[in-house]
């Protein structure tokens, strides 16, 4: 999303929490708060004239629909492509990079979900337009992490000094990975992790954060 002034949010892909700083997160939260006050009785003009491609290689209902609705509510238009492995030129051997270059020709940004970890970075490296990670295999789901963190912030008024519990599939849970990375940017947080032994958070990831 672009604001009138150049900022840390402008013209960048969003693939991982790694690309964010606390300052950038604060900027996003301020913009989110401002936009939450907007009335959507009428369509906004923020994305007027912008076309966003939703390219989902993995099934999705809520994430796909929420991005589609958001772009339209903000005055933009969308190309919506689900299950491209079954219907696109990838069946004929077209590479991911070539697919991205095709959509780059008529898109201002691409929101993408893929079943294979690391694919989103490949996609972003292939084009000059922003690419937004809407789910990266068992890697990350950084847009969901921002939503979760903003929800926590609305309640606690801070993302530091928190004590929390995350329960479930920690090994494969991309939403967990992104949220833990985000919370690790702030001081004095204690997060307890509860899962079956076979689904524990991987040791390399624990060492990373």
Calculate the alpha carbon distances from 91 to 11, 67, 86, 87, 155 in Å: 31, 26, 7, 7, 47
Question: Any idea which residue has 């990831």 for tokens?
Answer: 205
Query: Which positions are annotated as active-site residues?
Result: 62-63, 92, 113, 141
Sign of CA dihedral 108, 147, 173, 24: positive
What totals of helices (H) and strands (E) does the chain contain, helices first? 8, 6
Which residues of 84-170 form beta strands (DSSP E)? 109-114, 131-136, 163-167
Bridge pairing between strands 190-194 and 163-167: parallel
Structure tokens at 32: 């989110």
- What gap in Å lies between CA 16 and CA 203, rounded to an integer? 19
Question: What contacts 100, CB < 8 A, 6 or more positions away?
Answer: 110, 123, 126, 127, 131
């Amino acid at each position: 999303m672009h604001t009138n002034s150049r900022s840390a949010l402008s013209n960048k892909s969003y693939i991982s929490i790694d690309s964010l700083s606390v300052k950038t997160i604060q900027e996003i939260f301020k913009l989110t708060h401002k936009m939450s006050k907007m009335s959507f009785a009428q369509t906004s003009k923020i994305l007027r004239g912008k076309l966003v491609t939703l390219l989902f290689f993995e099934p999705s209902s809520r994430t796909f629909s929420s991005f589609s609705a958001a772009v339209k509510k903000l005055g933009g238009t969308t190309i919506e492509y689900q299950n491209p492995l079954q219907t696109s030129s990838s069946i004929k051997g077209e590479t991911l990079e070539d697919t991205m270059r095709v959509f780059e020709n008529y898109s201002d940004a691409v929101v993408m979900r893929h079943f294979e970890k690391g694919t989103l970075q490949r996609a972003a490296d292939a084009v000059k337009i922003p690419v937004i990670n809407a789910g990266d295999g068992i890697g990350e789901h950084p847009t969901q992490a921002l939503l979760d963190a903003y929800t926590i912030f609305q309640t606690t008024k801070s993302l530091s000094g928190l004590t929390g519990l995350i329960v479930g599939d920690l090994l494969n849970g991309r939403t967990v990975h992104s949220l833990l990375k985000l919370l690790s940017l702030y001081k004095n947080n204690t997060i307890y992790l509860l899962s079956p032994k076979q689904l524990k958070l991987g040791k390399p990831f624990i060492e990373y954060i």
